Structures are given as C-alpha cells and as structure tokens.
Amino acid sequence: MKSVIGHVWSGASSDSKTIARMKAAAATWQREAAIGNWIDIDLSAVNLGRDGTSVGDPVALPFIHDMIERGFDNPNIEIVLITNADICLCYGFADEVRDLCEKHGSLYCHRWDFTSIEPGIYNKEKVATGKWYAGADAFAVTRRWWARHKQDLPPFILGRETWDWIFRELIKETGGVQMDKAIYHEKHDSPWKKGRLRHPGNVYNRSYARAWLMLRKMNLKEIANAPYNEIAWPPVKYVEKKKESEPANITDILIVLGRGSKWSNTELRYCLRSLEKHAKNMGKIWVVGNDPGFLSKEVNYFQHDDFGKNKEHNIADQIYFACKNLPMTDNFLWINDDTFLLKDTDISTYPYYSGGSLRRKWSATAMNGYRVALMQTEAQLIAKNLPTITFEIHVPIRYSKEKFISMKPWIDLSARVPMGLTFRSIYCNVLGISPTNLPDMKLGNVASKEELIIKVADRDVFSIGDGLSDDAKSYFHDLFPTPSKFEA
C-alpha cells in the first residue's frame, strides 16, 4: 500500500500575479493527489499557536516545525511534504517522493525557474529547460526521520532566508537525498530580499543558521559578515538528553551489498535475524549498495553503486563512502551479508581476529583473483615495513569512521593494483592492531543439513560461501525462523 503524503503549505495574497502563480501550482498538486494517498493541508489561515511576529518579523509567518508537526497530527500520514505556495510539481512527483523517502527517510528539491509557466504537464526533461535555482523549495520527511532529527533543525520561520539551506544540509547529513528536476516555479521578485541584511525575520533565521553551521565547523558562506544575534544552539537540555539516551558503547552496523547474491539475498534476511537476536549494544543498521527489495523502514538503506576497479576496491570504496556521508556512530561494526551470529555478542567490544600470516593465507588459497589480492596486500605492507598479519577470516570487524577515512591513499592504491587489496588486513596492519587467533569461520561447501549442524556447533559466528546445498540451507530456518523487524 502506498504511503500517505501530507502536503503542508502556507501562503495567502491579494496580489493578482501571486494568486495566478499559486493557482498554477495548485493544479499540479491536484494532479498528483488524483493518483491517491495524498492530503493537502492548507495552513494559511490556521492558528498554530505562534508565528513570526513572536520573534520580531512583521508578518505572521508559520514556523517550519509547527507546519510539519501539524501534518503528522494525522495518524494516517507517513510522509510530510512542505513546499512554498507557488511551487509546481513535475509529473510523477508523488510516486518518486514515496520511493525516495521510503529508502532514505528524507529528501529536498532545488527548483527550476521560468519567466512564465505554460499550461500542460511538465516532465523532468521540460523542467530542465528552466534555470536551476540554488535554493530548495520542497522537502519531504518520513514520520520516523522527523521523530529522530527534528531536534537537530533550528526553529526557523517560513519565507525568510537560510531555513532551506540548513534543512538541506541536515537531510544530507542524515543520509537523505536530492530529488532532481522535480519542481518548477515562475520567477518573481522576492519580498524577503528587500532590506535583506537587517530584516528581523532574516536576522532571526540567520542567527540560528550561523550557530548550526559553526557547531559543525562548516563554511558560513554569504552570511559570514551579515548581521546576527548571539544565540545558544543546540539547547543545553537537548545536549544533556541526547547524552543520556545514547550510551557511549552503542555501535551501528554497516552491511555492504553487491550484485552477486546467488540466493536472492536470502542470506541477508538471516544475517539480519541473527543480529536482532544476538547483537548487544547495537545501534542503527545501515545498508549501502544494491537494494535487495525487502528492507523495512527500520533499516537505513542508501543506494550507492559499486563503481570500483575490482571487487576488493569496491568493498573498501563503499565503506569509505559510508564513513564520509552517513551519520553512523564513530565506531561501527562491518558485517558481510553472509555472516551470522549464533550467540549473544557485545558488538561494541568485538575482538579483532587473525588466522596467522598473509603468506600462510595465500599459500593455502586456490589460484584465483582472491589469492592475487592477498599476495598484493602482503607485498604492499612489506614495502611500507608494516606487519603482514591476515585478518581475512570471515567474521565481523569493528572500524572507526575517522581512521577508515584516513586510509584513502590505500583505497586509491587498491584501485590500481591487480585484483585490489584485502582491506581488513590493510586497516589492521597499518594501525598496528593486535589480534586474537581464530580459525577461518567460512564454510564454503556443505552437502547436508546434518553436516552444517555439526560444523557450526560451539561457534559464536560463521559465514557461508556458494557451495551450500538446499538441504544445508534449510537449517537457517531452524536457527532463525522469525522475520526480523528489519524485513518489510
């Protein structure tokens, strides 16, 4: 069933040109609403309890938070969309919003300007004939995203500068995406630009934007030298509450998906079930890569194609992307989709395991690309006078975002050498991590359920290859019969 979109907006005018723009926009809203599961919520004449006059603005503009909260007051609404009153929507807008929000939690849209709006349907190709505008005039968030992140958005008022900038940056910071060539607009003079620098509403929004950006050590750009008021952000009570609710040992989990599953990603289902059952101190689950098609909204899924130069580089590049772009915990657990926990495990202190030396590992590996990658890894570590321990034993591994990002030169090197570098061993040897010895936990070929039961007995974790028989695979249902909350 399609998620219900609640479209909130506010705007009233006696100016004929403005009214004409708003009517043109409303016609596109009605077209999208006709597809179904769309509710328009006009807040133009609604008393939301406060407005811009309470912060010195001469106009009774609504607060962004209040508009979105009013949308979610309707328990049937799963996605709130907020636009300006004269923003037109590209054909197919509603379905694209649902698809992107269900995958990423939030989105924003830059608008495209036209000197005049012609009657008829605008698809993406036609929208792109307009002039791209740097600001964003449409935002959509899921109920779950809003509950998690609304406290990170300052209390901006609509229709004044910077609120869209910061909302856009927050969406990007939390794994949301841009929806491209989706909205358009008839260009007109902007009242908020008159006396811009010292306009009370602009100063109010700008002050919060400045504090938000400085907290993150981000570039202030055009507001660097503009008038502002000193404010405290974030509120002290929020900081204290956040510290209390997020213990230091909570650890997120990252799973990278490629295109190579020969079991229709069924292994991922059982991996998720094992995590729900046995992973202690687990935070959020992040999945990056190709969409398996069954993840619930409890999973933070982010599509990112693996354009790397080889398999080993693809994996490292996907993890690097997640470290750079997704708001995971600073320390996180990376686990393959074909790896399964069998006993309760504190993932915040998960050990680093080794199976001996890289030379021993590649010497026992068949002549294939993986053996070449192991040999290349050993050679590159020797060249840098670093240890050559193998950490390639098919168990989860803890990474630090900051430290993984510092490995960028090694990731670039992995793209250039034949078959790439096995990155677990690069990371741990470069950092000088001392491991605990453990045999490789991968079971490549298992002929029967009975054989699998014997092989996993007394293990805390195991991994599988492509050589399991259907009979052996049936044991997974015995281990993890109940679908997890991570499956739709």
- Check whether residue 236 and residue 256 sit in a common domain: no
Same domain, 220 and 269: no
pLDDT digits (tens, 9 = 90+) for 204-226: 999 999 999 998 889 999 999 99
Which among 110-124, 241-255, 387-401 has the top mean pLDDT? Answer: 387-401
Cα–Cα distance, 265 to 45 (Å, whole number): 50
- Mean pLDDT is lowest, of 34-43, 68-77, 256-265, for 256-265
Collect all residues with Cβ–Cβ distance below 8 Å to 173 and sequence separation of at least 6: 216, 327
**Is residue 364 located within the same domain as residue 406?**
yes
Can you give the pLDDT at residue 191?
A: 61
Per-residue confidence band for 35, with pLDDT thresholds at 50, 70 and 90: confident
Asked if 404 and 446 sit in the same domain, the reply is yes
Give 365-377 pLDDT, tens digit per residue. 999 999 999 999 9
Max Cα distance, the chain (Å) = 81
- 200-213 as b/e, with b when 16 or more CB fall inside 10 Å? bbbbbbbbbbbbbb
371 part of a folded domain:
yes
Q: How many residues does the chain have?
A: 488
pLDDT band at 238 (very low <50, low <70, confident <90, very high): very low
CB crowding 43-66: b at 16 or more within 10 Å, else e: beeeeeeebbeebebeeebbbbbb
Residues 152, 156, 158, CA angle at the centre, nearest 5°? 135
Distance from C-alpha of 390 to C-alpha of 417, rounded to nearest angstrom: 18
Q: For residues 205 and 179, state if they share a domain.
A: yes
- Integer Cα distance of 201 and 161 in angstroms: 8
Indicate the residue among 189, 219, 240 that finishes a domain: 240
pLDDT tens figures, 413-448: 999 998 999 999 999 999 999 999 999 999 989 999
Q: Are 109 and 137 contacting, i.e. CB atoms less than 8 angstroms apart?
A: yes
Residue type, 104: H
Q: What are phi and psi of 289, to 5 degrees?
A: 130, -140
**Is residue 179, in this structure, part of any structural domain at all?**
yes
Q: Is 173 helix (H, G, I), strand (E, B) or coil?
A: helix
Q: Which residues contact 177 (CB under 8 A, 6 or more apart)?
A: 100, 104, 106, 107, 171
Residues 256 and 236 in one domain: no
In-domain check, residue 246: no
Say how many Å lie between the first and final Cα of the chain, rounded: 12
- Read off the amino acid at residue 151: Q
Give the phi and the psi of residue 160 in degrees, each rounded to 5. Answer: -125, 165
Give the type of residue at 121: I
183 forms bridges with which residues in the sheet?
Answer: 89, 111
Range of the domain at 438: 251-479
Would you state the structure tokens that stand for residue 126, as one six-digit string? 């036609």
Q: How far is CA 370 from the centre of its chain?
A: 31
Based on the domain organization, do 172 and 49 belong to the same domain?
yes
Domain count, the chain: 2
Residues 171 and 264 in one domain: no
Return the H-helix or E-strand segment holding 401: helix 401-405
Q: Which residues of 9-19 are buried (b: 16+ CB within 10 A; e: fewer)?
A: bbbeeeeeebe
Residues 77 and 218 in one domain: yes
- Residue 129 sits in a domain whose CATH number is 3.90.550
Q: Is residue 188 part of a domain?
A: yes
Q: Is residue 156 very low, low, confident or very high in pLDDT (cuts 50, 70, 90)?
A: very high
Question: Do residues 310 and 220 both lie within one domain?
Answer: no
Mean residue pLDDT of the chain comes to 91
